[in-house]
């Protein structure tokens, strides 16, 4: 029987967690006080703004228990937050992790979660500086991530202008395809190595490209695709008071996703445009700057594709090769709605 | 039938919540971007450190649904975090609120929650700059609060030295007494005005005194009493590598609490020393500085009492008037432990 957190108690668990953070995490220079007091403290970098985001992951709502390991779950939850800081052009620095945990959860499972958090943070030289644990009827992970960016350089959703090019990193829909695979072939043990399933369970983020792109000053608006390509582009359009035309032929379509969609009789563009947790970035910029941004992306090995243009129409259209426009219904993932 | 959040959806709810924050909240000078983008941003004050804390409140674990109104619940959850920033000597500035909510929750109830958050933040000129909502099987409120303090002036738990005086604001145990009243007389509608019940449901915090005390540079250690007087003093002792003697006669004992304890056949000192969510502050300082701190507290109308002294014994003793010492078992509230 594995040791449970009920057996070692809150303070016992915190001790174990802190040992992992201390021995396996990094300690940035500006950190003056880490976890363990009423609050943590850090000295902000002069000339920089502080960025803050938070995102929660709930068992049964945002992930399938039993399908994802503790380490993958922790990394995925952290990736969602890293992606948000990256979508502003910022560098993640300090995380706070608030957990709701069942008493019967194995201590090793919680340790694996923290190793997952650190797997997301360590490559960025970011660390965990605080948090909370509470007993709960189901597991939830709520992360607040603090980042920094040179003053005035943060890229908002609201700066897109008609005529701007719309660019997309990588390709979308792969996570949605992975989820479909998991739901439809739940018994298949070979699935864990499937690239689409990996895209769903262990997504990457584009925070480093977001930082480099924002630093050029050319990016007029940026967002990450956690509500799906169409839904998140809609956020940019709404905040910018604009619309967009997406060129169907230009939208990257992953080969594996195309195959899976065919096998399941699904519209591949439904997966590409709809709700999918891919954590890619959508950027807009003056079309004359697109190539320069693509060059920066290429240096990082990240595909960056011009997929459309910002318009003054207040709607998002999908433009087929012949020029036929179809207006998109772009409702993203909406909790609560039935 | 009140409108539910299922009916208006996540984005509808966020719109309503943002309207309350914008119209009823304050907007501090340093805030460069509030809620509504991938992350919020602020310009930190030069010469100041950033403080960060987080604390979660779960339905059925940390509060009794039906007993507390949405507004009181929101204020109480925020108070717990304000108290943590105050216990470092800091000033609260920016909050992020992450909610887990049932789909059938009334929109008005969520609006009341936010009015409660603002009731805690507005007097401090602090505001909500972000958050998250997720559908959940039970309600939880997870708050991250960011504060600031002049560089190097934060007061930790670890600075208490043998010989230091131990001081306590107000009195403890009142919240625990209020909880006992609610549990034992659950049908009594007159309870809502009872001072002990108010202490449990609508606790105050001592953040302003914490700030003023820390600014003197005399406070060697500080903590708020959310794990109970003995439990939190134990945290100071543990982090400082010290012990403490508490003078039984000096420990403030609320009249109403004494009465309630008598009525229920409870040891009043069990309530005063044990787990109780009072959000008072424990401070330690050179005994020659105690009077000065008491003077500052008096200016704020806050009682500040010398209740003991730090020792080099590594244990906490209760010293009776005759000088008889009794070692305290000071385990605070430990989630998970059975």
ipTM: 0.94
Say if residue A332's pLDDT is above 70: no
Q: Could you give the CA distance from residue B240 to residue B162 in angstroms, rounded to a whole number? A: 9
pLDDT in tens, A9-21: 988 999 999 999 9
pLDDT for the residue numbered A333:
47
Residue-wise pLDDT for A113-131, tens only, equals 999 999 999 999 999 999 9
CB contact under 8 Å between A142 and B56, yes or no, is yes
Distances (CA, A) of B76 to A179, B175, B204: 39, 12, 8
Q: What does the alpha-carbon distance between residue B308 and residue B330 come to, in Å, rounded to a whole number?
A: 15
Residue from B240, B336, B337, B338 whose CB has the most chain A CBs within 10 Å, to mutate: B336
B-chain residues near A8 (CB < 8 A): 336
Distance from CA of A314 to the nearest CA of B (A): 18
Residues B310, B238: Cα–Cα separation, whole Å: 12
Tell me phi and psi for residue B256, to 5 degrees.
-65, -35
Residue length, chain B? 338
Q: Which of A11, A137, A336 sits opposite B334 (nearest CB)?
A: A11
Which residue from A41, A51, A58 is facing B51, i.e. has the nearest CB?
A: A41
Report pLDDT digits (tens) over B132-149: 999 999 999 999 999 999
Decide if B54 and A129 are in contact by the 8 Å CB cutoff. no
* Chain B contact set for A10 (CB, 8 A): 334-337
Answer whether A53 sits within 8 Å of B39, measured CB to CB: yes
Closest CA to A100 of A65, A135, A68, A128: A135
Within a 13 Å sphere around the CA of A122, how many CA atoms are in the beta-carbon half?
Answer: 15
Min Cα–Cα distance to chain B from A324, Å: 31
Could you tell me which residues come within 8 angstroms of residue B285 by beta carbon, excluding any fewer than 6 positions away? B164, B165, B167, B218, B219, B220, B293
Chain B residues within an 8 Å CB radius of A32: 49, 154
Q: Which of A131, A134, A146 sits opposite B61 (nearest CB)?
A: A134
* CA–CA gap between residue A124 and residue A82 (Å, rounded): 9
Distance in Å, alpha carbon of A229 to nearest chain B alpha carbon: 15
| Model pTM score | 0.95
The closest alpha carbon to A272, from A248, A293, A236, A288, belongs to A248
What pLDDT sits at residue A185?
A: 84
SS (H, E, C) chain B: CCCEHHHHHHHHHHHHHHHHHHHHCCCCCCEEECCCCCCEEECCCCCEEEEEEEEEEEECCCECECCECHHHHHHHHHHHHHHHHHCCCCEEEEEEEEEEECCCCEHHHHHHHHHHHHHHHHHHCCEEEEEEEEECCCCEEEEEEEEEEECCCCCCCCCCCCCCEEEEECCCCHHHHHHHHHHHCCCCHHHHHCHHHHHHHCCCCCHHHHHHHHHHCCEEEEEECCCCHHHHHHHHHHHHCCEEEEEHHHCCCCHHHHHHHHHHCCCHHHHHHCCCCCCCEEEEECHHHHHHHHHHHHHCCCCEEEEEEEECCCCEEEECCCCCEEECCCCCCCCCCC
Q: What is the mean pLDDT of residues A69-90?
A: 97
Interface contact flag, A41 B49, Cβ < 8 Å? yes
Task: Tell me if A161 sits within 8 A of B161, measured CB to CB.
Answer: no
Distance CA B182, CA B187 (A): 8
Low-confidence ranges of chain B (pLDDT < 70): 330-338
User: What chain A residue is nearest to B91 in terms of C-alpha separation?
Assistant: A39
> What's the confidence (pLDDT) of residue A190?
81
- Chain B partners within 8 Å of A149 (Cβ): 41
Q: What is the pLDDT of residue B338?
A: 46
Whether B130 and A52 lie within 8 Å, measured CB to CB: yes
The pLDDT value given to residue B60: 86
Say yes or no for a CB contact (<8 Å) between B9 and A151: no
pLDDT confidence tier of residue A188, bands split at 50, 70 and 90: confident
Smallest Cα distance from B334 to chain A, Å: 5
3-state secondary structure of A188: coil
> CA of A268, closest CA in chain B: separation in Å?
26
Three-class DSSP category at A169: strand
Diameter of chain B measured on Cα atoms: 66
Q: What are the two backbone dihedrals, phi and then psi, of residue B287, each rounded to the nearest 5 degrees?
A: -60, -25
What's the CA gap between B201 and B67, in Å, rounded? 9
Stretch A16-32: mean pLDDT, rounded?
95
* Nearest-5° Cα angle at A106, A100 to A112: 80
pLDDT given at position A331: 54
pLDDT, average across residues A285-295 = 98
Report d(CA B2, CA B206) in Å as an integer: 37
Nearest in space to B279 (alpha carbons), one of B192, B185, B170: B170
CB atoms within 10 A of CB A13: 24
Q: Quick check: A54 and B85 CB within 8 A? A: no
State the distance between the two ends of chain B, measured CA to CA, in whole angstroms.
Answer: 41
Q: What is the pLDDT of residue A227?
A: 85
User: What's the rounded Cα separation, in Å, for the pair B195 and B177?
Assistant: 10
- Over residues B156-203, the pLDDT tens digits come to 999 999 999 999 999 999 999 999 999 888 777 788 889 999 999 999
Residues of A in contact with B220 (CB under 8 A): none
pLDDT value at residue A338 = 46
Domains and CATH numbers, chain B: 5-150 (3.30.1330.10), 165-327 (3.90.650.10)
């Amino acid at each position: 029987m594995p040791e449970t957190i009920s057996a070692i108690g809150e303070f016992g668990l915190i001790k174990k967690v802190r040992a992992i953070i201390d021995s396996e995490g990094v300690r940035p220079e500006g950190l003056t006080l880490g976890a363990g007091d009423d609050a943590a403290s850090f000295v902000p970098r002069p000339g920089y703004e502080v960025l803050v985001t938070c995102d929660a992951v709930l068992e049964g709502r945002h992930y399938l228990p039993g399908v994802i390991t503790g380490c993958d779950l922790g990394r995925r939850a952290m990736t969602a937050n890293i992606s948000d800081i990256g979508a502003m052009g910022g560098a993640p620095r300090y995380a706070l992790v608030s957990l709701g945990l069942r008493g019967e959860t194995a201590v090793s499972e919680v340790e694996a979660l923290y190793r997952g958090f650190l797997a997301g943070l360590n490559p960025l030289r970011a660390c965990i500086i605080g948090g909370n644990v509470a007993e709960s009827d189901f597991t939830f992970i709520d992360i607040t991530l603090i980042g920094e960016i040179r003053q005035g350089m943060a890229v908002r959703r609201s700066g897109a202008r008609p005529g701007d090019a719309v660019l997309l990193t990588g390709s979308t829909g792969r996570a949605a395809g992975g989820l479909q695979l998991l739901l439809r072939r739940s018994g298949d043990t070979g699935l864990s190595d499937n690239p689409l399933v990996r895209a769903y369970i262990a997504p990457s983020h584009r925070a480093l490209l977001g930082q480099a792109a924002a630093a050029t000053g050319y990016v007029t608006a940026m967002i990450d695709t956690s509500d799906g390509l169409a839904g998140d582009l809609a956020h940019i359009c709404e905040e910018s008071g604009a619309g967009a035309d997406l060129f169907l032929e230009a939208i990257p379509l992953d080969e594996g996703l195309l195959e899976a969609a065919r096998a399941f009789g699904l519209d591949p563009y439904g997966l590409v445009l709809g709700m999918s947790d891919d954590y890619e970035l959508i950027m807009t910029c003056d079309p004359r700057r697109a190539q320069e941004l693509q060059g920066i992306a290429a240096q990082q090995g990240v595909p960056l594709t011009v997929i459309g243009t910002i318009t003054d129409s207040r709607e998002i259209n999908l433009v087929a090769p012949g020029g036929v426009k179809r207006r998109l219904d772009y409702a993203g993932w909406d909790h609560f709605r039935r």
